[in-house]
């Protein structure tokens, strides 16, 4: 089956920041994104667990977004601007998609 190379951007971010990151992606004309809720983790600031957090702060979400390579730099730049002052991990990886029109 014919596949097409794209980039997958993964952004781990604190839940209270989610709306801001999504607005940034919207502003960059990405065709879509998906959010997963993380369950637990540990970083330099110590461990956290979804069931042990009050309110929205503290828990992380993972936003991912499949984009064309041509758009990648613009997206990364503007996402980085949002997450630079907060907890946030951004990774990029290679994927192949089967429907080109979608991205």
By CB under 8 A, residue 16 contacts another protein: yes
Beta carbon nearer to another protein, 14 or 67:
14
Q: How many residues sit in the footprint of another protein (CB under 8 A)?
A: 24
Put residue 71 in one of left, alpha, beta given phi > 0 → left and psi -120 to 50 → alpha.
Answer: alpha
Which one of the spans 31-39, 49-57, 68-76, 77-85 is the region binding ligand AMP (CB under 6 A)? 31-39
Position 86 contacts a second copy (CB under 8 A): no
- Binding to another protein by CB under 8 A, coded x per residue (else -) over 42-81, reads ---xxx-xxxxxxxxxxx---------------------x
Which long-range CB contacts under 8 A does 17-20 form with residues at least 24 apart?
A: 17/82, 17/83, 17/86, 17/88, 18/61, 18/63, 20/82
């Amino acid at each position: 089956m014919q596949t097409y190379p794209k980039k997958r951007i993964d952004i781990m971010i604190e839940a209270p920041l989610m709306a801001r990151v999504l607005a940034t992606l919207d502003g960059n004309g990405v065709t879509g994104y998906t959010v997963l809720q993380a369950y637990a983790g540990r970083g330099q600031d110590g461990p956290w667990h979804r069931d042990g957090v009050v309110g929205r702060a503290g828990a992380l979400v993972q936003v991912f977004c499949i984009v064309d390579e041509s758009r990648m730099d613009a997206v990364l730049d503007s996402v980085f601007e949002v997450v630079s002052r907060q907890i946030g991990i951004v990774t990029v990886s290679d994927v192949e998609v089967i429907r080109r029109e979608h991205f």
